[in-house]
Each structure stands twice: as structure tokens, then as C-alpha cells.
Amino acid sequence: MNFTEKENYNFNDLVEIVKILRAPDGCPWDREQTHKSIRSNFIEETYEAVEAIDTDDLDLLKEELGDVLLQVAMHAEIESEQGTFDINDVCDGICKKLIIRHPHVFADVKADTTEKVLKNWDAIKMKTKSQKTQTQAIL
């Protein structure tokens, strides 16, 4: 294993740690996990992050967001091992979605109120997802 401990870690370190955990000489439990076996963990960590928001506990929120991020990294690594996509593809997809859905920031569309932003967002989402009805959630 080629890993150096640090005082501070970043996103790339997380991705590397997950790869090490799932490697043949890594952690037996982590290697066995599938999307379905850690599905409930993903839900639980999301609920815990929401609880931290609801209780205004920023230290807990920081911790729980890390747990949610771990879940994303694990699911992406599982697919990376299958050759379907990796964490960079996940990041690429969300970046492209944010750019497309914010033409008032990244292009020449005018939207100077939240109402206009949400109207544009819904229209773009309906067009890009071929939806026939609007949703109120962003993303």
C-alpha cells in the first residue's frame, strides 16, 4: 500500500482511500459492498445530515456531509471497478448540469429574481430530461 498520512486531506485523498479500502489487500468488508448492500447506509447518512441541519449543529453537519460524501465515493468506486463510470464522471455530470441550468450565470440569459431563476431551471430541466411536468426541487 502506497499511502502517506497527512495533517489535512482533500477530495482526491478520499477517492484514493476508498480505492485502497476496496483493493484486494484492503478491507474485506469494504470489498464485499455493493450498491444494494450500502443503500441503507446512504439513506441513513443523508437523514443524519438533515438532522444536523435541523438542529443547527455545524460540527455534526460537517461530519455527516463527510459520511454522505463517502457514500458517493463508494458507489462511484464500485462502478469504476466495473468500468462503467468513475467519480470524475459523476463530477463532470453535475458540473455540466449546473452550468446548463444556470444560463443567467454562465450564458446570456437574464434572471435577476429567484422566481425567474426557478422558472428557467424548471424549463431547462423539463427540456433536458424530457419531462412533461415541473418539479419544485433544484437538481
Q: Give me the pLDDT at residue 134, please.
A: 56
Structural domains counted in the chain: 2
Euclidean distance between CA atoms 111 and 47, whole angstroms: 33
The predicted model scores a pTM of 0.85
Q: Do 107 and 79 sit in the same domain of this protein?
A: no
13 and 40 in a common domain: yes
Residue 45 lies in a domain: yes
Quote the pLDDT of residue 104: 92
Segment 101-123 mean pLDDT: 91
Q: Are residues 112 and 75 in the same domain?
A: no
Give me the domain span that covers residue 121.
101-139
